[in-house]
Amino acid sequence: MRIIKNEKGSALLIAMAMSLMLFLVGVAAVNNSVTDTDMSFNQSYTEQAFYVAEAGAWRAFTKIKADSTWNTGFTDESFGGGTYSVIRTDSSTNPALLDTVVITSTGEADGCRAIVELTLAPDIFHPFKHAMFADKSMDIRNSFNTDSYCSDSGTYAATVLTSEGDVGSNGTIDVANGAFIGGDVASSLTGGTNVHWGATVTGTTTDAAEAQEVPAVPASEFTAAQANNSAPAGLSGSYSYNVATNTFLSTGNVVLASGTYFFSSMILKNSASLSVAPGAEVKIYITGDIEMKNSSEMNSGGTPGSLQIYSQGDFVLKNSGDVAAVFYSPNGDADLRNSGQFFGSIIAEDIVAHNSALFHYDRTLANIESGGGGDVEPIGYRQL
């Protein structure tokens, strides 16, 4: 009987121990559940803080796009159940940044914090990558000829190639009647290229090219050119210039000193010439048209990159007129015909190139940068 009592006592102890173990397991499970719940909430609020910070960064980017001088930042702005604060850092506080802008945005949500950094740089592109580029249409015919050379490596004769004299369009390109393209013919419009029998293309022909950016010249650049006009002080020779209307007319030889010029129109009469002074760098901003009459010349024998023309109007080259320049007019037309020679690059809305005209693309022009006039684009993004 004593043995039986001992066995009953042992069973009771074992039952109590098992109950204690089950209790402890239950407590641990509850604790783990609470911990998991807390972690879940923390994760949720951390993600919320991140999205709030991200919203602040992109709002600041929008502000800077609209006004490049904006630097007031934001403090405790409410958004999506949290708040964000934003600061802008640029060369005014950190000279090493040069033209780079850094946006730092801190987001907070229910005690959780996230920080994101957005890096901005000037929106710069290279407009002169083609001999000729038309945003809408290009018509080439009657023995018109393109090739390329490199002005920083030697003379035209020493560096000329029957390649890289490329023509392109975001619309249509027609090449006909004995025209010779020493390079590629490329359109981004399906069915946009039409190379007729009798025309020669030394490179490739495609209607599946990537569309090219052809932005308008910022109005701020024209305003700055007018405010700091080098005319008439930088002009010498036979010309007339109206200070009130900014019209320019050349009847003989005119030389331009280094500087930025603003005109409303330009006319070079028969056999007149416009030259760039030796070693000078000239930019011309023109709101109207440029017309070169019979046998007139513009920077003939010069380096195309030394005369850059940014226009809101048309360009007409007639009857043996020679030009060494770049011409950029995304909303204007370019009309080249009748044995004229053009050394450089042309970007226009519509281009007509006829009748034995010769076009020599300067390959160094691909390095010219445009844009950056306050406009910026994101180049880096990270979470800190």
* DSSP secondary structure of 314-340: -EEE-TT-EEEEEEEEEEEEEEE-SS-
Name the stretches of the chain with pLDDT < 50.
Answer: 1-5, 27, 29-30, 32-39, 41
Q: Residue 350: what pLDDT? A: 98
Spatial separation of the C-alpha atoms in residues 92 and 104, rounded to whole Å: 16
Torsion angle of the four alpha carbons 117, 118, 122, 124, in this order, in degrees rounded to the nearest 10: 130
Q: What is the pLDDT of residues 334-360, one digit of tens each?
A: 998 886 789 999 999 999 998 878 999
Q: Residue 332: what pLDDT? A: 97
| Residue 218: DSSP 8-state | P
Determine the Cα angle at 131 with ends 366 and 169, to 5°.
Answer: 105
State the distance between the two ends of the chain, measured CA to CA, in whole angstroms.
76
Torsion angle of the four alpha carbons 302, 308, 311, 317, in this order, in degrees rounded to the nearest 10: 10
Q: Residue 245: what pLDDT? A: 98
Nearest alpha carbon to residue 106 among 65, 51, 41, 40: 51
Q: Residue 310: what pLDDT? A: 97
- DSSP secondary structure letters along 71-129: ---EEEEEETTEEEEEEEE-TTT-GGGTT-EEEEEEEEETTEEEEEEEEEEEEEE---S
Give the neighbor-by-neighbor strand order of the sheet with 370-383.
74-79, 82-89, 101-109, 112-125, 370-383
Domain architecture of the chain: domains with CATH: 39-126+369-384 (3.30.1300), 132-367 (no CATH)
Whole-prediction pTM value?
A: 0.75
Contacting residues for 320 by C-beta, under 8 A, at least 6 apart: 294, 295, 338, 339, 340
In the three-class reduction of DSSP (H, G, I as helix; E, B as strand; rest coil), residue 178 is classed as coil
Report whether 230 contacts 254 (CB < 8 A).
no
Amino acid making up residue 100: T
Nearest alpha carbon to residue 108 among 67, 74, 156: 74
Q: Residue 35: what pLDDT? A: 44
